[in-house]
Amino acid sequence: MARYLVPGGAGFIGSHLCTRLCAEGHDVRALDDLSSGHRSNLDGVDVDLIVGDLRDRDALESATDGADFVLHHAAIASVQFSVEHPLEEQDVNVVGTLRLLEAARAAGVKRVVFAASAAAYGEDETVPKQESMRAQPISPYGLSKVTGEHYCRVWSHVFGLETVCLRYFNIFGPRQDPNSPYSGVISIFARIMLDGRIPSIHGDGEQSRDFTFVDNVVDANMGACAVSSTAGEIYNIGCARAITI
């Protein structure tokens, strides 16, 4: 049994991680300010929920105390918000990640898994996407995630804190809030059709995405903790299959 901290643990992906970890008998703690996450996502899950901000030193010290692994999924995950409020978005996603890395280092955490994003690739139309491709984000959100990757790499190189970065592609699944402005196209279209309406598709409908079921993301996080050779690496997490809208 290991001790896990899941920042963003009451959110869409984080709650699935907490559910799996608890089912496997691990000791699980979540840190979430509930700005987009929901307590109800953790109903029936034996997790210690700390309601706090990622940038709060005291909350981070309490949350990381005794943790073996940190699965970092706390962020403002919205391109639109990052464009409208770039300073706030960078403060949460970049400064918050930096504070978490420092807290994890001080607490003796074995490894931090960072939820990165395919937004790192920007408008590069090359397929399939390779981790070796140059990052060229085109939004403040994408930039914040690439910056987080660099901080993880530097903290691993300079301080010896093992880190793994996972670049997610268009995740969908249960607990994805269709009413959230941060939600993906699958949950939004599903809500519209369940309401008896017809979804609007902008463009010719030939836009393609690599959609990833949330359980696959959970598997990737578990593997990132379990396999020693993953330390210091960046991995794309997708299904390697383009689906048109």
CATH 3.40.50.720 applies to domain 3-172+211-240: yes
**Of 156, 90, 102, 114, which is closest to residue 7 (Cα–Cα)?**
114
Give yes or no for residue 208 having a pLDDT over 50: no
- Check if the beta carbon of residue 149 is closer than 8 Å to that of residue 199: no
- Check if the beta carbon of residue 27 is closer than 8 Å to that of residue 33: no
| Residue in the structure block whose two tokens are 């987080």 | 148
Give Cα separations from 104 to 5, 15, 46, 56, 154 (angstroms): 10, 21, 23, 13, 14
| Residue in the structure block whose two tokens are 């981790």 | 131
Least confident of 92-101, 116-125, 142-151, 198-207: 198-207
pTM: 0.89
Q: State the greatest distance between any 2 C-alpha atoms of the chain, in Å, as a whole number.
A: 55
Query: One of 4, 121, 141, 168 is an active-site residue; which one?
Result: 141
141 catalytic? Reply is yes
Hey, what amino acid is at 130?
A: Q
Give yes or no for residue 241 having a pLDDT over 90: no
**Whole-number CA gyration radius for the chain:** 17
Residue 205, both tokens: 């409908």
Least confident of 27-41, 66-80, 113-127, 168-182: 168-182
Gap between the Cα atoms of 49 and 9, Å rounded: 8
Q: Is 127 helix (H, G, I), strand (E, B) or coil?
A: coil
The pLDDT-based confidence of 200 (bands split at 50, 70, 90) is low
Hey, what amino acid is at 14?
A: G
Domain positions in the chain are: 3-172+211-240
Residue 92: per-residue pLDDT: 98
Q: What is the mean pLDDT of residues 20-31?
A: 99
Residue 179: per-residue pLDDT: 66
Q: What is the mean pLDDT of residues 22-37?
A: 98
Burial 23-60 (b: 16+ CB within 10 A, else e): eeebbbbbbbbeebbeeebbeebebebbebbbbbeebb
CA atoms within 13 A on the CB side of 182: 17
| Residue in the structure block whose two tokens are 């907490």 | 18
Instruction: Give pLDDT tens digits for 81-137.
Output: 999 999 999 999 999 999 999 999 999 999 999 999 999 999 988 878 889 999 999
DSSP-assigned beta bridge partners for residue 71? 113
Alpha helices in the chain (DSSP H): 12-23, 57-64, 79-84, 86-90, 96-107, 140-159, 185-194, 214-226
The pLDDT-based confidence of 240 (bands split at 50, 70, 90) is low
